[in-house]
Amino acid sequence: MPDDRALIDLLQPLVTPERRARIDEVIAHRHYGLTVVLDRLHDDGNLSAVLRTCDGLGIQRVNVLLSDQLMFKSARTVSLGSHKWLDLHNYTSPQVCAQELRDAGYSLVATHLEASVPLEEIDFSRPIALILGNEHSGVSQDLVAACDQRVRIPMYGFVQSFNIASAAAMSLYYGMSRRRALTQLDSDLTPQQADALRARFYRRTLKSSDLMIKAAFPHDAL
């Protein structure tokens, strides 16, 4: 594969000025410092809703522990929507997921009904992987054991838990708002990460981009 700058130089003249401006605006608000882990959701509608929330809030990386129900559906569902714009990491092992996030510098924070620490006490200026459990049993014990901290979303009514899509929207909105306020950064991407996204977004925008890349760089495999 050609490097990102070469792809940008090739494809940029073919992207409309309006679309280039939109892509630049999106990249200027993207963050890797907050990510979410979705722990074996049962409903692909909830998965799609959380992915839409992440894209809208500027959260670039999403980690999905696949359940039996989503094992075969999620790839198709996501590829038709937000996966075009997000870094989606699929896992079948919670231990592998937790270790890769630790190696990438994230602290693992799980939402849990029995946690005593409210979400507001988390320091979102540091890299955080927020773990959200599934619709029936919450965060699994193997991920709870691997996390650095457990938090709760304060509730004041009769219900004991929020719907997963609602919990994700509230907690991720709060986390990104706090991260931007604490870091004073619209985006935490490095120039290299920004180029990687720009090259990908150009490819996704142009329907015949892969054919053009093969013609321009015949000796580089896509």
pLDDT in tens, 80-133: 456 789 999 999 999 999 999 999 999 999 988 776 789 999 999 999 999 998
pLDDT in tens, 53-86: 999 999 999 999 987 655 545 444 543 456 789 9
Work out the pLDDT band at 218, boundaries 50, 70, 90.
confident
Token look-up 């500027």 returns 58
**Which domains does the chain show, CATH number per domain?**
1-30+194-222 (no CATH), 31-188 (3.40.1280.10)
Q: What is the pLDDT of residue 182?
A: 97
Kindly tell me if the per-residue pLDDT of 138 is higher than 50.
yes
pTM over 0.95: no
SS3 string, 104-145, reads CCCEEEEECCCCCEEHHHCCCCCCEEEEECECCCECCHHHHH
DSSP code for 161: -
Enclosing H/E stretch for 39? strand 34-39
Q: What is the pLDDT of residue 196?
A: 97
The Cα-based distances of 138 to 10, 13, 38, 118, 181 in angstroms read: 46, 48, 10, 17, 29
More confident residue, 33 or 219: 33
Kindly tell me if the per-residue pLDDT of 221 is higher than 80.
no
Q: Which of 6, 175, 160 is CA-nearest to residue 106?
A: 175
Q: What is the pLDDT of residue 75?
A: 47
Q: What is the pLDDT of residue 72?
A: 44
More confident residue, 210 or 155: 210
Q: What is the pLDDT of residue 199?
A: 96
- Mapped onto helix, strand or coil, the DSSP state of residue 19 is helix
In whole angstroms, what is the distance from residue 27 CA to residue 21 CA? 10
Enclosing H/E stretch for 29? none
Average pLDDT, whole number, for the chain? 88
Q: What is the pLDDT of residue 113?
A: 72
In whole angstroms, what is the distance from residue 76 CA to residue 78 CA? 6
